[in-house]
Structure 1
Amino acid sequence: MALTGVLRPGHVQMRVLDLEESVKFYGDVLGLVETGRDAQNRVYFKTWDERDHNSFIIRQADKAGLDFYAFKVDSKASLDKFEADLRAYGVSTERIPAGEMLETGERVRFEIPSGHLIELYAEKKDVGNGLPYVNPEAWTALAEKGIAPIRMDHILLYGPDIEKSQKIFEDVLGFYLVEHVVLEDDTTDLAIWLSCATKAHDLAFVRHPEPGKVHHVAFQLESWERVLRAADIMTMNKVTIDMGPTRHGITRGTTIYAFDPSGNRFETYCGGYSSYPDWQPIKWTVDEVGRGIFYHDRKLNDAFLSVVT
């Protein structure tokens, strides 16, 4: 197995204002599969094609936004090593026992300088995708329920000190810089896109004065046609669309941004290129950031930049 260390994004926990309204939205409109509820009144979901028990968790709160974002690592030994390496780097960590989240093993939680809580874990129950592991079909009926993404793919976080957060992900966890937007001084980054494998990004940051904010959680679709279908489903269900369907210049993915009933932004997208750690990062200058984010429109709208939870 060539891929070691941090494997991929694993789960995200979001706060919503009305739990049952959100359950209906994420189940019927987005097409996620509910996999359980716990004593803390959290509701667990996965996409139809994910095999682990959960990737998207919601809980009711007075304020929408992000609780934490997690990455799966390849083994318990790697989890122990990453915790030791984080502490040696000066990052405080917390061990959360197995079972605190449904069907999930021990987690290591830490706060990064941008004000976000990040978790690492190694174990989560494999519940499958409804297809057998021997001679499977191509898809199940769940692939046609709602928008039906195939995975929870990445997150965009807003906060200060993004260069310090970047160093933790690069120096300790083995991520690498794929693309970045530089400010007028040609030195300071406005935004960064980081990968732990061969995707265009698994995590992104935008410099922002308030700590701990989230711009969007992204769900991957299989094709541009599925992105267009997602737009139709959003319109049929009167979902507030922020932008799209359109294309990114940065990462080259095709995309729609929209809001859940609580005001949390989410993205449904497909495409983007494969990247590798030995590639030189792509740099965008701030005067071209409109084309970088929205390639067709070549400009940003104020709400896209400023509305976060």
Structure 2
Amino acid sequence: MTGVLRPGHVQIRVFDLEESVRFYRDVLGLVETGRDDKGRVYFKCWDERDHNSYIIRQAEEAGIDFFGFKVLNVETLDKLEADLNEYGIETSRMPAGDMLATGERVRFTLPTGHIMELYAEKSAVGNGLTNANPGPWNAASEHGIAPVRLDHMLLYGPNVAANKKIFEEVLGFFLVERVLAEDGEFEAALWLSCSHKVHDIAFVEHPEPGKLHHCSFLMESWEKVLRAGDIMSMNEVSVDIGPTRHGITRGCTIYAWDPSGNRFETFMGGYQPYPDYETITWDWDHFPQGLDYPQRKLHESFLTIVT
């Protein structure tokens, strides 16, 4: 793997910081890794090696501030910034240390209104296991829901077609699946990958810019997803959909909301595409099956509620 490697971090706005810390630490089971002088709290999933992947800050409005993808090295970061500039996208540099344990970040705004970053350096803190003869899990992997990693984001905004061109032509992603609108031509939703994953990011056409649909956390198995559902119920977490299976991506899932109304997903499964695979297309009549394969239902809350 070269170029853009994977989703690296996302910063989310919450209403009550300490309530949200308790939720993400004790219910979702993320590992708190630090706090900074801007009032942000940093987390990572138990099996992630880098210092942070999920950052929260207190605000009057829920939603997403920005998200970042890690790239191979500093040389790749410089080249991608030059490629973005040549394509006509204005970038800026966020200095090393602006985020805890994170190097310089190249920041730019997508046509959908989302702020995206690329970065090459983040301090490695490990997953609590040794690098010599490690065990398969540790105590952190059993605390709360305990996802393995931040897997992907689904974002809502206008002009997803322009986003698609940037991701394909500049950043080296490929289109894995898509949903066509009722006219059979317009691409209403896109699932894009920079790796062997069924998606690293997805976009849905929406009139308001910069909206968050959900951040997704990877679970090891369907049993772990069901256990996550038990933990959600024990803690009276509001659930949107699931447990169920998507037709799109074949993922098995539960969607729920944090205390501020930011949707998150506990996700497992999906197939492993390669860049030479033909894009899978869902027409509008079969979109209910794509969303919820067993019930073949378009859930109104899933389609309309964003932060």
TM bracket (short chain): over 0.9
The one of 237, 245, 262 aligned to 2:260: 262
CA distance in 2, matches of 1:222, 1:81: 35
Q: Secondary structure at the match of 2:146?
A: coil
The one of 193, 196, 204 aligned to 1:195: 193
Instruction: Give CA-to-partner distance per residue, 1:39-85, whole Å, 9 cap, x none.
Output: 00100000000000000000000000000011000000000000000
CA shift at 1:301, angstroms? Answer: 1.4
The answer for the alignment partner of 1:156 in structure 2 is: 154
Instruction: Give CA-to-partner distance per residue, 1:259-300, whole Å, 9 cap, x none.
Output: 000000000010110010001100000111010011011011
Instruction: Give CA-to-partner distance per residue, 1:134-180, whole Å, 9 cap, x none.
Output: 11111001111000000000000000000001100110000000000
CA distance in 2, matches of 1:157, 1:297: 24
Where does structure 1 lack aligned partners over 5 or more consecutive residues?
A: none
The one of 79, 103, 112 aligned to 1:105: 103
Q: Secondary structure at the match of 2:42?
A: strand
| Superposition TM-score, scaled by structure 2 size | 0.99
CA distance in 2, matches of 1:302, 1:10: 30
Q: Secondary structure at the match of 1:8?
A: strand
1:1-309 pair list within 5 angstroms: 3-309=1-307
The amino acid of 1:296's aligned partner reads P
CA distance in 1, matches of 2:67, 2:154: 11
Where does structure 2 lack aligned partners over 5 or more consecutive residues?
A: none
CA distance in 2, matches of 1:33, 1:285: 40
CA distance in 2, matches of 1:150, 1:27: 14
CA shift at 1:111, angstroms? Answer: 0.2
CA distance in 2, matches of 1:182, 1:269: 24
CA distance in 2, matches of 1:251, 1:284: 11
Q: Secondary structure at the match of 1:27?
A: helix
CA distance in 2, matches of 1:198, 1:136: 25
What percent of counterpart residues are identical? 65
CA distance in 2, matches of 1:87, 1:50: 31
The amino acid of 2:168's aligned partner reads E
Q: Which runs of 4+ in 1 moved over 4 A?
A: none
CA shift at 1:185, angstroms? Answer: 2.2
The amino acid of 2:110's aligned partner reads I
CA distance in 1, matches of 2:292, 2:109: 31
CA distance in 2, matches of 1:13, 1:40: 13
CA shift at 1:187, angstroms? Answer: 1.5
Instruction: Give CA-to-partner distance per residue, 1:82-115, whole Å, 9 cap, x none.
Output: 0000000000101000000000000000000000
Question: RMSD across aligned C-alpha pairs, in angstroms?
Answer: 0.5
CA shift at 1:186, angstroms? Answer: 1.9
CA distance in 2, matches of 1:37, 1:109: 22
| Superposition TM-score, scaled by structure 1 size | 0.99
The amino acid of 1:126's aligned partner reads A
CA distance in 2, matches of 1:199, 1:138: 22
* Aligned residue pair count: 307
CA shift at 1:184, angstroms? Answer: 2.3
